[in-house]
Structure 1
Amino acid sequence: MKHTLTILLLALSLPTWAQKQYQLKSPDGKLVAAVSLGDQISYLITHESDTILKPSPLAMALENGPVWGRGSHLSSAKTHAVNQQINALFYKRNQITDQYNELVLQFKENFSLIFRAYNEGIAYRFVSNSNQGIVVKNEEASFNFAKDFNAYVPYVKGKYKDIESQYFNSFENEYTYTTLSKMSADKLAFSPLVVSLDKGKKVCLAEADLESYPGMYLVNKNASTSLQSNFAPYPTTTKQGGHNELQQLVTARQPYLAKSKAKAKFPWRIVIVSTSDTQLADNDMVYKLAAPSKLTDASWVKPGKVAWEWWNHWGISKVDFEAGINTKTYQAYIDFAAKNNIEYVILDEGWAVNKKADLFQVVPEIDLKQLIAHAKAKNVGIILWAGYYAFERDFEKVCKHYSEMGVKGFKIDFMDRDDQPMVDFHYRAAEIAAKYKLMLDFHGTYKPTGINRTYPNVINFEAVHGLEQMKWTGPELDQVTYDVTMPFIRMVAGPIDYTQGAMRNATKRTHRGINDEPMSQGTRCRQLAQYVIFESPLNMLCDSPTNYEKEQECTDFISTVPTVWDQSIALDGEIGKHLAIARRKGALWYVGGMTNWDARQTVLDLSFLGEGNYVAELYRDGTNANRIASDYKKETMAIPADRKISLNMAKGGGFAMKIYKK
């Protein structure tokens, strides 16, 4: 990537009290990090004189060595300012302004501590200056809040007997809204996590550039107003098991976190500070802090949409063959994709022989070569699902073989861990897949931390409580409220493989979990809006070709919505209540809006359109959508000169529109 870089030297703030303290301000001067050096290193954060974090210690303990941040001796301190443009690939905007002030503290104990102050947050990381590898025994990252604020907590989902067992989880969650002091001492939460402060401000805790190091969990052990880091220790031994023998289960762990190479750069710890919820719904800090692309050429990476069979249970009707995992069924999906200009078809779990963890054993009902040839003739790409262990055991051979066959990528599933070896797997898989020009969709995995910038062929991630949950849960699950909560929290980390697009739609009262004929909670227009609101460069159409052909008007909209964007603007929103986002691709604007279970009128300000006469193709909830969730109306309307549009959303409703110049 090409960057325009401006570096200005700044004067260091002089120490002002007993401990040495260095102040680092954001470019707009509103956000300040004060780093104190003494027996321990700590930092506090203020925003426009409001305390964001009280003094919060940080440290990294090495095996048989010093504790960085405890009794450490400063050897130099330097600051500089950066203002550059990042050319983003396969993202919600194609240009990112990357402006920050940086403080680099170098210590005699062979490490550095780097702080960055952006207008939207503070980040720091440890860096090893040693020419030898090190073993990290533990890391302390503390986030000490000034009051007992409320927080949106993504606990590890499931019933676990202890903390240790929670390191094996799917990273799919709902949010528990609670005060900090009432957080469970026995449950791990993972980032991003959002805390509501006074004056409408919020803090989002996140991490970026997680390479060769375990992911950060957060825990409150003592009913305080402080969150502490927690990490999965390094696995000693594993055994094959789990879902269909496709996972590696940790049977013992080491008393340390990571074995790191010389000159290792450790993950960024991020404290995002927002003054409005819309700032969380459109934030770039994780992407900006990730390592730049390692691919010299990513032109072969083609984002797009995917016709997908697993959610709809191979639900094709009115055909003269039995639908299921067989060649004729997949040919029908390919034909549907070609007819509707959908770029890919996925073969999800079932195409390889079950419980063999061997991707070279294709079930006899599938003629894979014939399917790939049929898809190629129709200008459709094939993506294959792969269980983690089946892929990991010999992934270069797998990538080479299927790339040569013409496969375009893999959806890898059931990793369910983020300890160091598993994080290493993600980077190795990305590198080898790129070598063979294969895209990767990491399913059953931890939240993105920027690898999609470092390896742009990593095109999507799950780590979201997606629409698949609707297959086996009923009204007891509130997916609608989750949908207008998650974009302010999980989506801060990066794209989501949520798998929207249901054509069967239900109200809060009528939803049921039905595996063979699943439905969504909320209205049809809510499903359309999600193609605009949810960031997803490789985006599924979860329902069956039969249902989409019955609803061709909606299918036409879905198939034309871009999956990557030139510009994004969060127009309006409040976490847990509603959200509206506008995104531009070329000359076309798309706008999506969703509400919770409250019917809502929203007024959109479309002044970003600028001069000229504009027309909107609008999909809005129908008059009876509160009772019949599939009810919607499509209409064409002129955008008024004052650029204000008032729209009504039904309960669990939404809207979607495409805007173009006359």
Structure 2
Amino acid sequence: MRTLSFVFGLVLTATPLAVPSPASAAAGWTVSGPGGGVSARLALDDAGRLSFGVDRQGAPVLAPAPIGITTAGTDLSTGLTLAGRSSRTVRERYTRTTGKQLERDVTLAESTFAFTGAGGARLDVIVRVSAEGAAYRYVLPAGGTVTGEASSWTLPADAPAWLLPYNPNYENVRVQTTAGSAAAGDYGFPSLFQVGANYALLTESDVDGRYDGARLTHAAGSGAYRIVLADPGITATGPLATPWRVAVVGDLATVTSSMLTDDLAPPSRLTDTSWVRPGMVAWSWLSEHSSPSDPVRQKQYIDFAARNGWPYVLIDEGWNAAWVPEVVRYARARGVDVLLWLHWTSLDTDQERDTLLPRFRSWGVAGVKVDFMDSDSQDRFRWYDDILAATAAQHLMINFHGATIPRGIQRTWPHVMTLEAIRGAEQFRTRAATNTMFPYTRNVVGGMDYTPVTWAVTDRDTTDAHEVALALVYESGWTHLADRPETYEAHPEALRTLSRLPTVWDETRLLTGAPGRETVVARRHDDRWYVGGISAVAAHTVAAPLGFLGGGRYLAETLRDGDHGLVRESRIVRRGDTLEVPEPANGGFVTVLCAYTGAATCDRPVRRVPATTLTLDPSTTDVHPGGSVTVEAAFTLPAGGPITGVKLAARAPQGWTVRGPAVADSGMRGGDTLRGTWTFTAGAGVPTGATELPVAAEFTFAGDPGSPDTPGKRPVHVEEVVRALVPPADPSGTPAVSDLPFLTESNGYGPVERDRSNGESAAGDGNPITIRGTAYPKGLGMHAPGEVTVWLGGACTRFSAQVGVDDEVAQSGSVDFRVLGDDRELASSGVRRSADPAAPLTADVSGVRILTLRVTDGGDGKNFDHADWADARLSCGS
């Protein structure tokens, strides 16, 4: 990540003004942006109150409105005097990993105004102006506790407005109104207003844990919108620079392409972003909510993504740590990376982050989707600071759902691929009129995870081409396509387009449109242009000028709505031509423009990874602390190829060592095998339980086109593991199972409880084990589906328990109890219900190494299935 900031012509004019009283004569100052098109006006009235306004091309867009800040000790919104002014020119040059313009070079004029207030309190107001708008922030050199801001904006009461009634996840329905007639209440950023021929987009930038997120509040009938903070008080230790109060001003083309919010944000915190890769994501939760809990179904999504060159699959709520590592290995061998969903409270402590994030990385997970933050408080922004640093340290990309809006976060933290903060397709009600507002509002300030292209959403008034075009018109570093593989394959022309769309852009231009009516946008990626249109108006023909093209002829390949479904058509165009596309009501289209070479299509090959195999011998083993196992690996390319840069190596898990060199081959062809041998040794202090000993091959392959977003080669990672068990001591006597260490455990709700019923979701919250009025001091409390495994080592002969549904359930549950030895069923109870008494369950476990106690839901779902293994015991040798 390259980020450079330049400061030119620093002019210090901080000459103190000799003013005997806090109030001063009215004064005003102008800060003009490069070219003079946009200027900011800062004024001080006779009472020492500040106001701020913005002009464009000499005409007011935002009339002067009160600004200022209050702290617990001082009111710095009145009684101010100017102490001095300094000015400079700031040039920002940086490269983004995501967004509508990857390379940015912008110049801003900056002036710092120093004021003093009551008791000599100091307040600096910094104003920055670019060709795209103006912004200001406060600096409190002495810090303190901020209790509020007087910051505000003033619009003409009749100014058309596109506003979002505020809630902290920014998922309310955006409304079209006017500045004055908008309902009284709070509105979320960004807010768009039209003033004559100009537009003003109001938002903020550079918010982190030193402050909180703001919103606008409005009184009915007024054109005034005042800043309201999320917290009653914001405490700063030492000097405090507040977030920027930002107004993007200009025509709609200026607003939609603006990056002013990013220009004002801090530079990248990352020096290496080579591991950050945007791209298309297959996501199953919206179209089939239960699928994230099904590893077989997730592999089907992975196969679909691999066939179509999509680099990611997101496994949402419901995944299980017991099977995720194997699914990740399956995906990576096919050139697909896995993303995992988490509730934010799973990562809200240092301990959780230090435990879970390295574990995900060790599995090979590429990134996480974190959900339900639902707050703009300072505490929550401090959490954002922590999670951003922690995920970056583990090279895990991140997507924030149930989140606040972007405020320059994707410049500062380039591994943020996208954020929700939008009423997207997962609300299951799609309207063209609101879809056409988002490109001019929410999506201006950063990646927007709308989860588009969903035939699963049946309550929509959009056409099929409109749905496909959302993947282009909306910018998101990760674009989560939210329908089933079978649905996309039933729309082959849509899938053909989606499998070749980039998700990051070198350049973006609005060609035509208006909020709530239509959007036609052109985006460039490398040497080709993509034009996408969505409509919320009656049937018409779109006329998009192609003046942005370079010289020569281009093939324009368009996907649009036809009379009987999606159709594809082509024509040859030149710079200066007009692209004309017929659209039905609420329709859309996607056009790809590539240099015309005589080919009939702009399609490029889809990235498909050659099939390989990696076998390990042994595949399972027992290793005692201090012991070793020698593993032989064979990596084979059965057919096809060639593959290049092949490397085969072993990796030692924590507490283990591995001996043996990596082996390599510069190229392999069909039928070739690469072999290696390694010896893994368990350290004396390794914990008991299951461990995976990984061996992996990495390679590139000839003809790999790369992904649409990543130039060059993405190595393919093929990994298999030896499943090693570090066993505890063999049990002896007649131990209770609840007193033995668990090798593995899983549970349908909360953890498995020892000597208590399942209870609720927390550990230790169960009750005494009770079945039909009989209490048992020992046993296991489970919730179907669940199981535990324990080590017997062949030392035991008999298992016994009293099984049943615990009395704590409020309604009838049903559970089937099963006893397995070394994965072979030894005994089962049949379905036991709440009304049934405890039933004896015994099994001969002679020679069994690993005992599994499993409960299933009885075939009618898991509700109220609190399963008790009462007085579960073993008979073992001495």
Structure 1 length-normalised TM: 0.83
Q: Which residue of 2 aligns with 1:569?
A: 509
1:330-479 matched pairs, under 5 angstroms: 330-351=298-319, 362=321, 367-393=323-349, 394-470=352-428, 473=429, 479=431
Shift of 1:557: 1.4
When structure 1 is superposed on structure 2, of 636-645 and 451-460 the one drifting more is 636-645
Counterpart secondary structure, 1:525: helix
Q: Distance in 2 between matches of 1:314 and 1:226?
A: 44
* 1:231-380 correspondence runs (5 A): 231-233=229-231, 256-274=232-250, 276-313=251-288, 325-351=293-319, 362=321, 367-380=323-336
Partner Cα distance (1:606, 1:176) in 2: 32
CA displacement 1:259-295 (0-9 Å, x = unmatched) = 2232322110011112x22222211111111111011
Q: Distance in 1 between matches of 2:537 and 2:511?
A: 20
Q: How far did residue 9 of structure 1 move?
A: 5.0
Q: Residue 491 in 1 paired to residue 451 in 2? A: no
CA 1:644–1:453 in structure 2 vs 1: closer, same or farther (change >3 Å)? Answer: same
1:175 to 2:150 alignment: no
**Aligned counterpart for 1:560 among listed residues 486, 497, 500:** 500
Contact in 2 for aligned 1:51/1:146 (Cα 8 Å): no
Aligned AA (1:123): A
1:209 is aligned to: 206
Structure 2 partner of 1:639? 573
Q: Identify the match of residue 481 of structure 1 among 426, 433, 454.
A: 433
Residue 867 (structure 2) aligns with: none
1:20 matches 2:21? no
- Output the CA distance in 2 between the equivalents of 1:636 and 1:44: 49
Higher Rg of the two aligned structures = 2
Q: Which amino acid aligns with 2:568?
A: K
Offset of 1:411 from its aligned partner? 0.5
User: Once the 2 structures are TM-superposed, how far is the Cα of residue 147 of structure 1 from its aligned partner?
Assistant: 4.1
Distance (Å, rounded) in 2 between the aligned partners of 1:204 and 1:339: 41
AA at the equivalent of 1:195? F
Counterpart residue type for residue 535 of structure 1: E
Residue type matched to 1:461 in 2? L
Match of 1:41 among 47, 50, 54: 50
- Note the C-alpha offset of 1:430: 0.7
Paired residue secondary structure (1:5): strand
Q: C-alpha displacement at 1:643, in angstroms?
A: 2.0
Q: How far apart, CA to CA, are the structure 2 residues paired with 1:105 and 1:112?
A: 6
Q: Does the residue aligned with 1:548 lie in a helix, a strand or coil? A: helix
Cα distance in 2, alignment partners of residues 646 and 48 from structure 1: 33
The residue number in structure 1 matching 2:9 is 8
C-alpha displacement at 1:529, in angstroms? Answer: 1.4
Equivalent position of 1:159 in the other structure: none
Deviation for aligned residue 1:218: 0.8
Work out which structure has the larger RCO, using CA pairs closer than 8 Å and 6 or more positions apart in sequence.
1
Please say if 1:596 is aligned against 2:536.
yes
CA distance in 2, matches of 1:174, 1:265: 33
Point out where structure 1 has 5 or more consecutive residues left out of the alignment: 157-165, 234-255, 316-322, 353-361, 506-510, 513-519, 625-630
Q: Give 1:489's aligned amino acid.
A: T
SS of 1:293's partner is coil
SS in 2 for 1:410: strand
Q: Could you tell me how far apart the structure 2 residues matched to 1:11 and 1:574 are?
A: 43
How far off its partner does 1:52 sit?
2.0
| Greater alpha carbon shift after TM alignment, 2-11 vs 560-569 | 2-11
Contact in 2 for aligned 1:484/1:576 (Cα 8 Å): yes
Secondary structure of the structure 2 residue equivalent to 1:560: coil
1:428 is paired with a residue of what secondary structure? helix
Aligned partner (choices 556, 580, 584) of residue 616 of structure 1: 556
Q: 1:111 to 1:279 in 2, by over 3 A?
A: same
Higher helix residue share = 1
**1:84: how far off?**
4.1
Q: Which piece of structure 1 moves more, 17-26 or 97-106?
A: 17-26
Distance of aligned partners of 1:111 and 1:299 in 2 relative to their CA distance in 1, 3 Å threshold = farther
- Equivalent-residue separation in structure 2 for 1:371 and 1:188 (angstroms): 45
Q: 2:226 maps to what in 1?
A: 228
For the structure 1 residues 314 and 228, does the alpha-carbon distance in structure 2 shift closer, same or farther, using more than 3 Å as the test? closer
Superposition deviation, residue 222 in structure 1: 5.4
Task: Give the Cα–Cα distance (whole angstroms) in 1 for the partners of residues 99 and 151 of structure 2.
Answer: 29
Deviation digits for residues 200-237 of structure 1 (CA, Å, limit 9, x no counterpart): 2111111011112221111113532211111221xxxx
CA distance in 1, matches of 2:293, 2:563: 40
Partner SS state of residue 404, structure 1: helix
- Alpha-carbon distance in structure 1 between the residues aligned to 2:87 and 2:109: 7
Residue 576 of structure 1 aligns to a residue whose secondary structure is coil
Measure how far apart 1:486 and its partner are: 1.2
> Aligned to 1:98, which of 84, 88, 106?
106
**Alpha-carbon shift at residue 564 of structure 1 (Å):** 0.8
Q: Hey, what does 2:89 align to over in structure 1?
A: 81
Deviations 1:37-65 (A, max 9, x none): 351121222223322223211111111x2
Q: CA deviation at 1:257?
A: 2.8
1:8, CA displacement in angstroms? 2.9
Letter in 2 for 1:304: G
C-alpha distance in 2 between matches for 1:173 and 1:285: 25
2:591 corresponding residue in structure 1: 657
Secondary structure of residue in 1 paired with 2:319: coil
Tell me, yes or no, if structure 1 residue 500 matches structure 2 residue 501. Answer: no
Identity of aligned residues (%): 28
Q: Give the Cα separation in 1 of the matches to 2:332 and 2:576.
A: 48
- Structure 2 distance, partners of 1:2, 1:177, is 38
CA distance in 2, matches of 1:341, 1:302: 14
Question: In the alignment, which residue of structure 1 is the partner of 2:150?
Answer: 140
Question: How far is the alpha carbon of 1:436 from its aligned partner?
Answer: 0.5
Structure 2 unaligned segments of length 5 or more: list them. Answer: 18-23, 597-878
Structure-1 separation of matches of 2:181 and 2:328? 54
Structure 2 CA distance for partners of 1:581 and 1:10, relative to 1, 3 Å: farther
Match of 2:138 in 1: 126
- The separation in 1 between residues aligned to 2:80 and 2:496, in whole angstroms, is 62
Structure 1 CA distance for aligned equivalents of residues 284 and 317 of structure 2: 10
CA 221–4 in structure 1, closer or farther in 2 if over 3 Å, else same: closer
8 Å CA contact 1:278–1:573 kept in 2: the answer is no
Give the drift of 1:4: 6.8
**CA–CA distance in structure 2, aligned partners of residues 88 and 75 of structure 1:** 38
Would the aligned equivalents of 1:278 and 1:574 in 2 still touch at CA under 8 Å? no
Bigger strand share: 2
Following superposition, the deviation at residue 104 of structure 1 comes to 0.6
Q: Quote how far apart the aligned CAs of 1:13 are.
A: 13
Partner SS, residue 34 of structure 2:
coil
- 1:561 maps to amino acid: L
2-structure distance, mates of 1:92, 1:53: 26
Q: Is 1:153 aligned with 2:163?
A: yes
Q: Distance in 1 between matches of 2:380 and 2:91?
A: 34
Deviation at 1:121, TM superposition (A): 0.9
Question: When the two structures are aligned, how many residues end up with a matched partner?
Answer: 579
Aligned positions of 1:505-524 closer than 5 A: 511-512=458-459, 520-524=460-464
Runs ≥4 in structure 1, deviation > 6 angstroms?
10-15
Cross-structure match for 1:241 = none
2:381 aligned counterpart, secondary structure: helix
Quick one: structure 1 residues 313 and 469, their matched pair in 2 at CA, closer, same or farther if it must change by over 3 Å? same
User: Per the alignment, in what secondary structure is the counterpart of residue 181 of structure 1?
Assistant: coil
Inter-CA distance 181–570: structure 2 relative to 1 (3 Å threshold): closer
**SS state of the match for residue 112, structure 2?**
strand
